[in-house]
Amino acid sequence: MRNFDETTITEAVLERVRNAPNLRQRIISEAIVRHLHDFVREVEPSQKEWAEAIAFLTRVGQKCTDTRQEFILLSDTLGVSMLVDAINHRLPGNATQTTVLGPFHVADAPEFALGEDISGGMASEPLLVEGRVSGIDAKPIIGAVVEFWHADAEGFYDVQSETGLASLAGRGIVRTDAKGEFWFRTVVPAAYPIPDDGPVGDMLKAQARHPYRPAHVHFMISAPNCETLVTHLFLADSEYLDSDVVFGVKDALICELETQSVGPTARGNRVAKDMAALRYDFVLADAGR
Ligand code: BEZ
Ligand code: FE
């Protein structure tokens, strides 16, 4: 077969990929050919524009390092990460909503006892976090692993500092107690711009978009026989709740900060000074739904 033109070339390529022995690979190969060809037919790029597109993707790849994943940032800012998240989390009604993992999760974060200060010296207003973890049957989950991480008052994560992984702060792991509850102390995080000094930042500028995310605390919560929950809690008084650059905000994850006075807390813990409080009850879906 030869002499392909702009209408016959798509079928020719589809014909060529149709023999992929792995069915899933075949379905994906066919879809990418169809959508990519339709995209080109719609946009009708000039040769110069196509070369610029390839140079852009090349820069995205070149920006990636062990601690910087520009392709994930591209997926996040084009709303693709949240679309993949939505497709993979068609959860039962009362299960806690999910959102993007983001690039600042660190494997093997330090484990803390309940009630400890996990801020690692980050400067900001003190914050109490109290939570409960249950299954969709409302039964408390004892020993759930609750991992959390957040930015400081300037909107930076520990791993963005010069010392990076060597000076972790504002992150950790705790385990729920016999009532399925956990608590820790930290500081109030600020809204922040995603890393925008690379090609994704250039794209945002060209699209006249700001790079900000509203203030939030990330959580990853796991327990046997439950689907691991990746989510954030957003602070209700934060800017950018309606224009999050990665489209991750959901109403059910927005929390008003409460005021906690020195002494006993609403959940029977005790703090030594006045502070803001973030309270939330997480519900894990069953694994293998
Ligand atoms: C974050 O919340 O840490 C994040 C998520 C997506 C892109 C950049 C940062
Ligand atoms: Fe974040």
Q: Is 104 in the pocket of ligand 1 (CB under 6 A)?
A: yes
> What average pLDDT does range 215-228 have in this prediction?
98
Q: CA 234, CA 213: separation in Å to the nearest integer?
A: 10
Q: State in Å: Cα 95 to ligand 2 middle.
A: 21
> What average pLDDT does range 94-98 have in this prediction?
97
Q: Is 226 in the pocket of ligand 1 (CB under 6 A)?
A: no
Looking at residue 175, its pLDDT comes to 98
Mutate to test the pocket of ligand 1, among 100, 106, 209, 241 (most ligand atoms within 8 A of CB): 100
Q: Is 213 in the pocket of ligand 1 (CB under 6 A)?
A: yes
Tell me the DSSP string of 126-172: EEEEEEEEEETT--B-TT-EEEEEE--TTS--GGGSTTGGGS--SEE
Q: State in Å: Cα 274 to ligand 1 middle.
A: 30
Q: Where does the pLDDT of residue 93 fall: very low under 50, low under 70, confident under 90, or very high at 90 and above?
A: confident
Looking at residue 240, its pLDDT comes to 98
CB atoms near residue 45 (< 10 Å)? 13
* pTM greater than 0.85 (yes/no): yes
> What average pLDDT does range 56-78 have in this prediction?
94
3-class DSSP state of 25 = helix
Backbone angles phi, psi at 70, to 5 degrees: -70, -30
Pick the CATH number of 92-284 from 2.60.130.10, 3.40.50.12780, 3.40.50.300, 3.40.50.10310: 2.60.130.10
> What is the amino acid identity at position 79?
G
Give the closest residue to 41 by CA, choosing from 15, 11, 8, 7.
Answer: 7
Looking at residue 11, its pLDDT comes to 97
Q: Where does the pLDDT of residue 160 fall: very low under 50, low under 70, confident under 90, or very high at 90 and above?
A: confident
Looking at residue 163, its pLDDT comes to 77
- Mean of pLDDT over the chain: 95
Beta strands in 33-161 (DSSP E): 126-135, 145-150
> What average pLDDT does range 188-193 have in this prediction?
97
Hunting for tokens 């399925």 — which residue is that? 180
Q: Where does the pLDDT of residue 68 fall: very low under 50, low under 70, confident under 90, or very high at 90 and above?
A: confident
Whose alpha carbon is nearest atom 6 of ligand 1? 102
Q: Are strands 126-135 and 275-284 parallel, antiparallel or unpaired?
A: parallel
CB 100 within 8 A of CB 76: yes
Q: State in Å: Cα 139 to ligand 1 middle.
A: 31
3-class DSSP state of 257 = coil
Instruction: Encode pLDDT of 6-55 as tens digits.
Output: 999 999 999 999 999 999 999 999 999 999 999 999 999 999 999 999 99
Choice among 27-31, 126-130, 165-169, 232-236 with the minimum mean pLDDT: 165-169
Looking at residue 1, its pLDDT comes to 81
Q: Where does the pLDDT of residue 274 fall: very low under 50, low under 70, confident under 90, or very high at 90 and above?
A: very high
Specify the domain boundaries for CATH 2.60.130.10 within the chain: 92-284
CB atoms near residue 89 (< 10 Å)? 17
Looking at residue 19, its pLDDT comes to 93
Rg of the chain on CA atoms, in Å: 23
Q: Is 63 in the pocket of ligand 1 (CB under 6 A)?
A: no
For the chain, what percent of residues have pLDDT higher than 70?
100
List, as ranges, residues with CB under 5 A of the ion ligand 2. Answer: 102
Q: Is 194 in the pocket of ligand 1 (CB under 6 A)?
A: yes
pLDDT at 212 over 90: yes
pLDDT at 178 over 80: yes
Whose alpha carbon is nearest atom 3 of ligand 1? 102
Supply 283's token pair: 């519900």
